Amino acid sequence: MHEGVFIRNAFHFLPPEKLQALPYNISVGFHPWLLNKIDFKIAHKYLAHASKLKNVMAIGEAGFDNVALTPLALQYAFFELQIAIAIQCQRPIIIHCVRAYHLLVPYIKKNHKVIFILHAYSADEGTTKKLLQYENVFFSFGKNMFHRAMIDKQKKLMHMIPLQKLFVETDNSTLQIEKVYEVAASFLKLEMEQLKVETKKNYLDIFKK
């Protein structure tokens, strides 16, 4: 985002008092790569508490990863926990999904009041067409736009997606957000400021307290 309109992912192991003291908006959740190291009961209590903090704007990253070593049963358990908290606290959920959109879509259908933001989006065109059917799905693009082998695919996907459903991100890279905006705007053949305005509108629309 820009002009202070952004969300950073906070580590789930930070205690709530440290989360609350962070001088920016955050998301909190349990990434599918890390679930083997997390006690489920403690995670439930932690997220229920953290989700009530004023600077926690979203739940996640959460989701499914068919490449990760984490057992699928554990991914399901933690995702259902996080979707339940997102519903309870009325927050969007930021999704990590790798080769597993068939697992995610039933949750999108069932929970139509929850906003799903698909982080580092890079699915195929067929999957994208299906996901565009759902009003509660948004798409976020970032460092994949800078990978030479993915540029053409990222351009095609971005042109499929209405600006009203679009975000950009830096993820955990060293990229500056201005550079991400610059490249995304060039892909879309827009002025960078126009893209900033559109993504800010999206932010203000869905990240409501």
3 domain-assigned: no
187 domain-assigned: yes
1 domain-assigned: no
Please, are residues 18 and 1 in contact by the beta-carbon 8 Å criterion? no
Cα separation values, 102 from 27, 64, 126, 146, 204, Å: 24, 10, 12, 27, 29
| Residue 3 scores a pLDDT above 90 | no
2 domain-assigned: no
- In this prediction, residue 59 has a pLDDT band, given cuts at 50, 70 and 90, of very high
Report the pLDDT value the prediction gives residue 1, as an integer from 0 to 100: 41
The string of pLDDT tens digits covering residues 173-186 is 899 999 999 999 99
Question: What is d(CA 115, CA 165) in angstroms, rounded to the nearest whole number?
Answer: 11
36 domain-assigned: yes
Domain holding 195, by residue range, is 8-206
Cα–Cα–Cα angle for 74, 27, 143, rounded to 5 degrees: 90
Mean per-residue pLDDT, 73-87: 98
> How many domains does the chain divide into?
1
Cα separation values, 63 from 99, 145, 203, Å: 11, 22, 21
Q: What values do phi and psi take at 168, rounded to 5?
A: -125, 160
Please, are residues 40 and 70 in contact by the beta-carbon 8 Å criterion? no
Report the pLDDT value the prediction gives residue 10, as an integer from 0 to 100: 73
Q: Is the pTM of this model over 0.85?
A: yes
The string of pLDDT tens digits covering residues 115-147 is 999 999 999 999 999 999 999 999 999 999 999
113 domain-assigned: yes
148 domain-assigned: yes
* Alpha-carbon dihedral sign for residues 187, 205, 125, 99: positive
Report the pLDDT value the prediction gives residue 170, as an integer from 0 to 100: 94
64 domain-assigned: yes
Question: Across the strands, what pairs with 26?
Answer: 8, 56
| Residue 4 scores a pLDDT above 50 | no
CATH number of the domain encompassing residue 110: 3.20.20.140
Q: Which helix (H) or strand (E) holds 197?
A: helix 192-206
- In this prediction, residue 26 has a pLDDT band, given cuts at 50, 70 and 90, of very high
Mean per-residue pLDDT, 29-45: 94
Mean pLDDT of the residues in the chain: 94
